[in-house]
Amino acid sequence: MKAIKIGNLAVAVPIIQGGMGVGISLSGLASAVANEGGIGVISSAGLGLLYKDFSENYLEASIHGLQEEIRKARDKTLGVIGVNVMVAMTNFVDMVKTSISEKVDIIITGAGLPLDLPSFLTKGSNTKLVPIVSSARAARIICEKWKANYNYLPDAVIVEGPKAGGHLGFKEEQIGDNNFSLEKLVPEIVSELKLFEEKYNTTIPLFAAGGIYTGEDINNIMKLGAAGVQMGTRFVTTNECDASQGFKQAFLDADEKDIEIIKSPVGMPGRAIFSNFIQKVRDGKKQPKKCPFKCIKTCDIDKSPYCIIIALVNALKGNFEHGFAFAGSNAFRATKISSVKEIFQSLKKEYKESK
């Protein structure tokens, strides 16, 4: 796998570890990936809950938590560190501004179109801006709006296809439809980005995500034009992953049939490992009693069957009576816990062998 540049940022191995909230990818996993030459990504979702001892004020605790995680990661690695921020989060702007003031290398946005993201860059800032999209249309809208309003183009783009874990940028009926497969989307988005690259004499590398599990998968998607990949699921079953043993065990225990599409209160479908909690929600047994943090812009507590942030924190701790684990379509393939170093070694070997 060849080294790659994102603007002036050198990345030794073109693998981004996808940001995984709540608390699944923090400084531990991100720094381990960065130490192997990939891009390690801290999830900024729900940090206010994980750092509630610092302040009962969710917004304050979130800012403090992100500062702490970035600093801890920097202490453990000289490699490339990014932060994942979801556009749908009510504290999106806080998390973006904190990432920039802490000088993270990259901000990666998911769950929505980050149309005003470049407006938060400060003078002299070197933080790269990388949106996640699910269509060529979304990539085009972001490029056009950023260029027109801020004279800025994305430093790279990530396309997340329907096999990814977590929230999916597709309608439920599109998820199994081959017209929306990652293999279909990659060439479409490469052509779209090429128009901007040629017009403005720049490069916008495309990273592909969703269902990439082996080095052979990486090779296959790169043949379709991707410059690199983003992977989430494969990094969950590592020693360095910041989740509890119980969360990782859910991945080891899962069969293919346990990985399901669920409706999330965020208003998007999501892919997760079936749990007793999910069954209770389907049976109509779960009702949120209150909305303590108003963490997601699009979540309406009166209509939501549960509070997603609390469900995800419960899952982080391994409590699947009151939570569920997001997981990619390949989550059933893990058979043991490995080190991040071992994962990189096997990805490189598989990649080479499939050449």
Ligand X SMILES: Cc1cc2nc3c(=O)[nH]c(=O)nc-3n(C[C@H](O)[C@H](O)[C@H](O)COP(=O)(O)O)c2cc1C
Q: Which residues bind ligand X (CB under 6 A)?
A: 18-21, 24, 43, 45, 84, 86, 110-111, 132, 160, 163-166, 209-212, 230-233, 326-328, 330
Q: Shortest distance, CB of residue 109 to ligand X, whole angstroms?
A: 7
- Taking the least distance from each CB to ligand X, the nearer of 43 and 200 is 43
- Taking the least distance from each CB to ligand X, the nearer of 132 and 193 is 132
* H-type alpha helices, 233-275: 245-253
* H-type alpha helices, the chain: 27-35, 47-50, 58-76, 92-101, 136-150, 182-200, 215-223, 245-253, 276-282, 308-316, 340-353
Residue in this structure with the two tokens 């049976």, named with its chain if needed: 283
Helix (H, G, I), strand (E, B) or coil at 158: strand
How far, in Å, CA of 258 to CA of 329, rounded?
10
Residue in this structure with the two tokens 């608390």, named with its chain if needed: 23
How far, in Å, CA of 44 to CA of 244, rounded?
18
- Taking the least distance from each CB to ligand X, the nearer of 20 and 61 is 20
Q: What is the CA radius of gyration of the chain?
A: 19
> How many residues are recorded in the chain?
355
What is the phi/psi pair of residue 271, to 5°? Answer: -110, 130
Q: Shortest distance, CB of residue 218 to ligand X, whole angstroms?
A: 11
- Taking the least distance from each CB to ligand X, the nearer of 78 and 262 is 262
Q: Shortest distance, CB of residue 310 to ligand X, whole angstroms?
A: 15
DSSP state of 19: P
Q: Shortest distance, CB of residue 107 to ligand X, whole angstroms?
A: 11
- As beta bridge partners, residue 338 has 238
DSSP state of 172: G
Cβ-based neighbours of 60, under 8 Å, separated by 6 or more: 48, 54
Q: How many alpha carbons lie under 13 Å from residue 142 in its C-beta half-sphere? A: 29
DSSP state of 156: -
What does the angle CA 273 – CA 274 – CA 276 come to, to the nearest 5 degrees? 135
4 and 12 Cβ atoms separated by less than 8 Å: no
- Taking the least distance from each CB to ligand X, the nearer of 50 and 327 is 327
272 and 259 Cβ atoms separated by less than 8 Å: yes
